[in-house]
Amino acid sequence: MAEFFAMGGYAAYIWPAWGVGALVLAGLLVASLRSLKSREATLKALEESRPRRRRRRDTVSATSNAATEGGEG
């Protein structure tokens, strides 16, 4: 096991490289999560500031219901 951690004499270069790589990945994860929360808050604020609209599905179903009630019989 000691030979593995010694990496054939190159451990002084390999382990710091792994450490720097892990720190960079952790930093990217933290930055991404912060950005996600910020953008979600912005989206929520924008959605709340707009008036509610009827969805197309609701208007289509209302139109089809009116057509079936008045058209048949």
* Phi, psi for residue 3 in degrees, rounded to 5: -65, -35
Mean pLDDT for all residues in the chain: 86
Residue 50: per-residue pLDDT: 87
Q: CA-to-CA distance for 7 and 39, rounded, in angstroms? A: 44
Highest mean pLDDT among 22-36, 38-52, 55-69: 22-36
Residue 60: per-residue pLDDT: 66
Q: CA-to-CA distance for 69 and 73, rounded, in angstroms? A: 8
Residue 32: per-residue pLDDT: 98
Higher pLDDT, 20 or 3: 20
Q: State mean pLDDT over 17-36.
A: 98
Burial 32-66, CB ≥16 within 10 A → b, else e: eeeeeeeeeeeeeeeeeeeeeeeeeeeeeeeeeee
Q: What is the token pair recorded at 69? A: 């009630």
